[in-house]
């Protein structure tokens, strides 16, 4: 495949992942009392499937269209207000998270174990950006911010990471990147 | 898509519908920044301005508030967090929790500001066509070095086109799984896999067909720039916005 073809393919795949991240907030799997929402799983998958650069472009475009007023953030919201709001840190944290996830996965040879490690670090980066932001906006203590903005979501995140690693292993032969 | 997301574009011919999208985008950024340093009287005044634009854009205030109920829950959480943590003159004590007058005031103001910024964004998204948003993003990215703005615009167009297709396929796969009693499956990882893998496989295969179609039509990044049609009210609107922002910052 020549370079133009490869670029075109990556352009379309990146747009596809932008759409998946946007609608990920609306695809919920009812497990237990709280349904699992798949948005952050698609962010991490974008990193390990598209690689660090295209994955970063994918998340940047997602944030850009949300910032520009398209209702793609969770709850069908959009705009600069969402980035300044309590959950803005999580959204901005997707940028370094997808880059690090993609870099580690690529650097360690795209094996299932390296994908899991990459996504674990990516998830920690999302919380690393989201929890301090939540603390600042809501003026709560750091301990409370961790208890409310991180701990309840960790079991679901672990399930999503395992599922994403399996999906990536099955998807790579299909899309032949 | 519109059934799922309440804040999609609604056609109309109001002042906001006709304004140049670049000005609208710039205005929103300016107002959002000004609101962050605004006090309560200025926020109240701006809320009245928003109600006026709601009416002129033909939007229903109560319907919109109802659609925002999950976001309101988040705002309540922000309010309560401030109420419980900001020290000041104690109003009442319940067990070990003391609630101060300053906490209620500060919490209410912060939540009100977030609400106003959010509603401003909603008015923008309900009065602006997705294709105009794409054009505006392309225009704003043009001076940014190392960013291929035309390719970004193509990706935005494609992703907006993919969204309803993916939602439809997700619904079809979910219904097919339910018809086969897959929702009785207790293993959460298997439940995620059974929905997401077929969805990804199906959409990536159709994306491959799209790549072929684009290649066969000699797609390149060298595309015609979008055209903008100003309504003629832009200067007045911009002057009004500057006055509004100064009022928000000063009062």
Predicted TM-score of the model (pTM):
0.83
What percentage of chain A exceeds 90 in pLDDT?
54
The partner residue sitting opposite A163, judged by closest CB among B71, B151, B196, is B196
CA atoms within 13 A on the CB side of A29: 29
pLDDT at B128 over 60: yes
Note the pLDDT of residue A53: 95
pLDDT at A33 over 60: no
The partner residue sitting opposite A174, judged by closest CB among B128, B196, B201, is B201
Q: How far is B232 from chain A (nearest CA, A)?
A: 22
* Domains parsed from chain A with CATH numbers: 3-175 (1.10.1760.20)
Q: How far is B176 from chain A (nearest CA, A)?
A: 15
pLDDT at A48 over 80: yes
Note the pLDDT of residue A90: 92
Q: Is B8 on the interface with A (CB under 8 A)?
A: yes
Chain A neighbors of B5, CB-CB under 8 A: 26, 71, 76
Length of chain A: 177
Q: CA B34 to CA B205: how far, in whole Å?
A: 47
Site from B104, B192, B210 to mutate, A interface, most A CB atoms within 10 angstroms: B192
Mean pLDDT of A24-49: 81
β partners of residue B98: B93
CB atoms within 10 A of CB B141: 16
pLDDT at B99 over 90: no
Question: Which of the four pLDDT bands, split at 50, 70 and 90, describes residue A31?
Answer: low
Structure tokens at B22: 């670049």
A163 with B193: Cβ contact below 8 A: yes
**A35 by DSSP, 3-state: which?**
coil
Q: CA B95 to CA B83: how far, in whole Å?
A: 15
Q: How far is B52 from chain A (nearest CA, A)?
A: 20
Question: Which of the four pLDDT bands, split at 50, 70 and 90, describes residue B48?
Answer: very high
Scanning B217-236 for CB atoms below 8 A from A yields 219
Q: CA A59 to CA A122: how far, in whole Å?
A: 13
**B132-154 tens-digit pLDDT:** 888 888 898 889 888 888 899 88
β partners of residue B90: B100
Structure tokens at B210: 């799209």
Q: How far is A23 from chain B (nearest CA, A)?
A: 7
Mean pLDDT of A82-86: 78
CA B127, distance to chain mean position in Å, is: 12
Note the pLDDT of residue A68: 78
Q: Is B191 on the interface with A (CB under 8 A)?
A: yes
**CA dihedral in degrees (A162, A167, A169, A174; nearest 10)?**
180
Mean pLDDT of A76-105: 86
Q: Is B193 on the interface with A (CB under 8 A)?
A: yes
B114 with A85: Cβ contact below 8 A: yes
Note the pLDDT of residue B182: 76
CB A36 within 8 A of CB B192: yes
The partner residue sitting opposite B207, judged by closest CB among A13, A31, A167, is A13
The partner residue sitting opposite A14, judged by closest CB among B81, B114, B155, is B155
CB A150 within 8 A of CB A158: no
What percentage of chain A exceeds 70 in pLDDT?
93
CA B96, distance to chain mean position in Å, is: 39
Domain range annotation of chain B: 15-130+229-250, 149-216
Q: CA B50 to CA B161: how far, in whole Å?
A: 31
Note the pLDDT of residue B5: 54
Q: How far is A155 from chain B (nearest CA, A)?
A: 11
Q: CA B120 to CA B34: how far, in whole Å?
A: 12
pLDDT at A43 over 90: yes
Structure tokens at B161: 């086109």
**B204-236 tens-digit pLDDT:** 998 989 889 988 988 877 777 778 888 888 899
Note the pLDDT of residue B222: 75
């Amino acid at each position: 495949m020549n370079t133009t073809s490869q670029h075109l393919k990556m352009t379309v795949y990146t747009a596809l992942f932008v759409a998946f991240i946007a609608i990920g907030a609306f695809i919920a799997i009812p497990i237990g009392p709280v349904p699992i929402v798949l948005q952050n799983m698609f962010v991490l998958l974008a990193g390990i499937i598209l690689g660090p650069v295209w994955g970063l472009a994918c998340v940047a475009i997602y944030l850009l269209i949300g910032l520009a007023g398209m209702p793609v953030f969770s709850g069908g919201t959009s705009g600069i207000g969402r980035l300044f709001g309590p959950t803005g840190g999580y959204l901005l944290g997707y940028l370094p998270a997808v880059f690090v996830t993609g870099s580690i996965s690529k650097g360690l040879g795209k094996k299932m174990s390296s994908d899991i490690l990459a996504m674990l670090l990516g998830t920690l980066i999302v919380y690393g950006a989201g929890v301090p932001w939540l603390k600042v906006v809501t003026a709560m203590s750091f301990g409370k911010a961790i208890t409310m903005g991180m701990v309840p979501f960790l079991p679901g995140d672990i399930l999503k990471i395992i599922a994403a690693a399996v999906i990536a292993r099955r998807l790579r032969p299909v899309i032949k990147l | 898509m519109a059934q799922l997301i309440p804040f999609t574009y609604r056609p109309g011919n109001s002042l906001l519908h006709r304004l140049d999208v670049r000005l609208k985008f710039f205005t929103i950024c300016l107002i959002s920044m000004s609101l962050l340093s605004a006090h309560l009287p200025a926020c109240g005044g701006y809320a009245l301005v928003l109600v006026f634009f709601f009416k002129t854009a033909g939007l229903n205030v109560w319907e919109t508030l109802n659609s925002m109920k999950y976001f309101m829950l988040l705002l309540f959480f922000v309010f309560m967090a401030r109420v419980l943590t900001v020290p000041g003159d104690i109003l009442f004590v319940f067990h070990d929790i003391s609630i101060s007058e300053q906490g209620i005031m500060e919490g209410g103001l912060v939540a009100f500001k977030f609400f106003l910024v959010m509603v401003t964004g909603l008015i923008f998204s309900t009065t602006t066509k997705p294709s105009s948003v794409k054009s505006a993003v392309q225009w704003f990215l043009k001076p940014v070095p190392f960013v291929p703005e035309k390719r970004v615009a193509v990706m935005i167009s494609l992703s907006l086109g993919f969204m309803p297709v993916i939602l439809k396929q997700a619904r079809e796969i979910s219904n097919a799984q339910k018809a086969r009693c897959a929702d009785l499956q207790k293993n959460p990882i298997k439940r995620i896999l059974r929905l997401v893998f077929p969805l990804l496989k199906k959409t990536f295969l159709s994306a491959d067909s799209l790549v072929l179609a684009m290649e066969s039509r000699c797609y390149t990044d060298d595309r015609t720039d979008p055209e903008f049609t100003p309504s003629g009210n832009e200067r007045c609107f911009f002057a009004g916005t500057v006055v509004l922002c100064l009022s928000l910052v000063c009062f």
